Amino acid sequence: MAAARHLHVVAASIQDRDGAKRPLLWTRLDHPGVRKVWADRGFAGRLVEWTAQILDRELEIVRKAPDQRGFQVQPKRWAVERAFSWLTAHRRLARDYETSPAHSETMIRWAMIDTMVRRLTRGRPGTRPDPRPLSRTDACGLNHLTAEGSPLTS
């Protein structure tokens, strides 16, 4: 039985559409129940036809609404952005420090293992250990100076 491959990093010099064929093939082999894959507009074109003809799967391109102006969260795209935010919370993945796709894959795996271990050991939904500051004075630790009744407000 082949090991499940859930991650495939492609060099930046490879076009998204070209780099997507291998992970789509792995998904077809490792997870035969997956019938539909969502992708952004960078994967449109012949890849959609290739996925339908060769892999017998549907590659749906998530598009903006025709009347959309400005920024709006795209359907199904939020899940990808959420995963990226989890990854960039790890220092090594905040920038592209890795020089090879294999190293990037390894660092992403470590980051996701860390994320899952934290979830399993926490036993409850994620929360920040301390609340985020509400204002600039809170962030500087000066909230006691601007509180009602303090020398600054009298």
pLDDT tens, residue by residue, 8-48: 788 888 888 888 998 899 889 988 999 999 888 888 889 99
pLDDT of 143 over the 60 cut:
no
| Domain range summary for the chain, segments of one domain joined by + | 11-63, 68-123
pLDDT at 5 (0 to 100): 54
pTM of the predicted model, to two decimals?
Answer: 0.60
Q: Which residue has the higher pLDDT, 138 or 113?
A: 113
pLDDT of 140 over the 60 cut:
no
Q: Which residue has the higher pLDDT, 31 or 137?
A: 31
Q: Would you state the structure tokens that stand for residue 51, as one six-digit string? A: 């996925």
The three-state (H, E, C) secondary structure of the chain, written as one string = CCCCCCCCCCCCCCCHHHHCHHHHHHHHHHCCCCCEEEECHHHCCHHHHHHHHHCCCEEEECCCCCCCCCCCCCCCHHHHHHHHHHHHCCHHHCCCCCCCHHHHHHHHHHHHHHHHHHHHHHCCCCCCCCCCCCCHHHHCCCHHHHCCCCCCCC
**Closest Cα partner for 110 from 91, 96, 95?**
91
pLDDT-derived band at 64, boundaries 50, 70, 90: confident
